[in-house]
Structure 1
Amino acid sequence: MPGAGAAPGAETVPGSGPGPGRAPRSAPFRPGRASDPAARKRGADTRALTQLLFSQLKELEPGTAEHGRVRSALIEANLPLVRYAAARFRSRNEPMEDVVQVGTIGLINAIDRFDPDRGVQFPTFAMPTVVGEIKRYFRDNVRTVHVPRRLHELWVQVTSATEDLTTAHGRSPTTAEIAERLRISEDEVLACIEAGRSYHATSLEAAQEGDGLPGLLDRLGYEDPALDGVEHRDLVRHLLVQLPEREQRILLLRYYSNLTQSQISAELGVSQMHVSRLLARSFARLRSANRIEP
């Protein structure tokens, strides 16, 4: 059994275990810490009842009907702990009933592994296990953005190897160390880490993020004024090829080379009046060929 304050089962979940020589990251659940005197009394009653039930459970033979009854009473008495832990995951958009059920599994595991003789309060012991079970559920089962099954399974191995190497070296392992441990390439490790971030999609219209930056819509979405030009250029190109070659050249000299009618007449060896008539005739043809309403 882990030492005082440790959470059994939580060491397999990143960020949920206390680590060597450290206290659990999550604050221990203490019913009755609210300012409401009635809530404090309920919390004190729950702690006293839990202590009494554990003392009874210790004297009973596992598998007997009486042992099962006391164990069920312990689970029922500490369900508020599970609901408290589940509330931390309310933003994950997962039904609270499912999260509470998963957390209850962690509570049952904690009850089965708890030793009251170690001098640790049960809520302090059980909370990391409950939270770890919920985190494992979200890690392995809940994804809005789905990744290939092989990559997902490999990501679980990368996470486990990262925890082992962190414990062994006292620091976060490098990508090369993880790849060597699992005998895979560094590119596969990086792909797994990227897949591990794909828990759910973020709305482009989401509110501002916690670091004060604008939302994704404000940072990524904008109207490109050049988009209209793309459509217009494509339309002009389609219409120009329908004109005679000389009229195409006159239009290009006038509107792409920015020559005046006098300069065009000198370039082509025709009168300026003739250039003007050709331009007018070209515009009439283009307008008749363009069936799109302005």
Structure 2
Amino acid sequence: MKNVANATNYLDIDTKELFRIYSKDKDNKDVRNILIERHLYLVNLLAKKYINKGVEYEDLYQVGSLALIYAIDRYDIEKGYEFSSFATPTIIGEIKKYFRDKVWALRVPRRVQELSKKISEAKVALEQENKTHPKVKDISDYIGCTEEEVLEAMEASYGYQPISLDSSGNDDSEDKDITLIDKIGEEESSFNNIEQKDFINKFMESLNELEVKIFKDRFFLDKTQSIIAKELEISQMTVSRIEKKIVEKLRKEYEKHL
């Protein structure tokens, strides 16, 4: 009963504060479990990107859930990044690794399979370290092989188990005429923008009210400097000067982000 009471006490605490608590007490399983529950939606979203590619959704969800736990254990809230930005590369990396480890459909040399696994692990490590997708040269330097070998293994990694899009996607007699191609949905464009949105939102927190207004109008609403100047009742030269200041600040923040 005491453990249940302790867990209940944490339910009303916001996520950031829970991460601070967990960072100081890694043995606090109640906080850890709540953090897992609050972020399973991320696993669900990312796992759905890879359905209908020869692996059951339940398997992908399980792999992604383990990756989520791994990310929670490693996340350092004091570095200032949103957890979703930190966890997404880890979850995607583990799902891709699962494909490479379990679902080779073509006869690929063992050497290439093992190198593909190393590449998958290197990508995750480099993405976590540099907060950006690594280039072929970065991966080859990290692993200690040539760029040609990396490209060869990456090309071979497409040998996942193929499934015909004309095959039935359901064993029920009522749906026997429905094929997999009928069930493939459109990819959510927001998946690839999670990290970028977090960065932009954090950047705007460093701007004052006037700068935020000009930043949004210029780069999101495509307003001209003259229109913004009229709306704010200031000179166009002032708008131009503030815009240059914002762009320079954005460049510096992005360099630090990398």
- Higher Rg: 1
TM-score using structure 2 length: 0.45
Q: Higher helix proportion, which one?
A: 2
TM-score (norm 1): 0.40
